[in-house]
Amino acid sequence: MNWLQNWRRSRKLAALRDPQFAFLWDKPPAGEYVSLDCEMSCLDPKLAEIISIAAILIKDQRIFLSETWTVLVKPAGQIDPASIPVHGLRHQDVQGGIALSDALAQLLHFIGPRPIVGYYLEFDLAVINRSLKLGVALPNAAIDISGLFYDRMVSAHRPDVDLSLSYILQTLDIPDLPRHNPVNDALLAAMVFLKLRA
């Protein structure tokens, strides 16, 4: 790590409101990633609350299902009825969930400084960063499988690429799983990630 990286790291750590999470700025373990998916109370990233999370460890070219972390989160507000048919979680289904602050603390300890993999990660990370209130955004590298797929498929002869998960799975010959279950969605993202890296 050169002096500029050290300086940037020290600036970020100085802005960090909770020093227990300073480990997020450590060097990530080589060849390790975490595939992440969240289900939300609504589709507006400025209002959405996390109601379930799943994260799966990836090491080199293997997905470690034995290293899966998942939790239900009890939201402070109500679940938008329009989102219930998507993820199948009603307000009463998450009343036994843990507090968001506890869920996010556990999540960050599971992820550590590893890069985060997911499908359209921007939404999930926007809600996570807003909810954490760390004073700084998560420093983890974010790897969006839709972006990887686009880079692989786009060409001068094919400038438009279908980035729907169904099309990505079909193109890469990856079996589909029931969607909007955070464990399944994190697993699908992990499989796509490894297939595109192979």
Q: Is residue 192 part of a domain?
A: yes
| pLDDT for res 169 | 96
Q: Is residue 82 part of a domain?
A: yes
> Which helix (DSSP H) or strand (DSSP E) does residue 56 occupy?
strand 50-59
CATH value at residue 66 = 3.30.420.10
Q: Is residue 114 part of a domain?
A: yes
Count of domains for the chain: 1
% the chain with pLDDT above 90: 65
| Tokens, residue 79 | 């679940």
Q: Is residue 37 part of a domain?
A: yes
Domain span at residue 45 reads: 28-197
Q: Is residue 14 part of a domain?
A: no
Q: Is residue 111 part of a domain?
A: yes
For 196, other C-beta atoms within 10 Å of its C-beta total: 16
| pLDDT for res 10 | 66
From edge to edge, which strands make up the β-sheet containing 32-40?
62-72, 50-59, 32-40, 116-118, 142-144
Integer Cα distance of 121 and 100 in angstroms = 19
pLDDT, tens only, 117-164: 999 999 999 999 999 888 888 999 999 999 999 999 887 567 788 999
Count of helix runs (H) and strand runs (E) in the chain: 7, 5
Tell me, yes or no, if the pTM score tops 0.85: yes
Q: CA angle, 137 as apex, 136 and 140 as ends, to 5°?
A: 130
Q: Is residue 12 part of a domain?
A: no
Residue 82 has pLDDT above 60, yes or no: yes
Q: Is residue 79 part of a domain?
A: yes
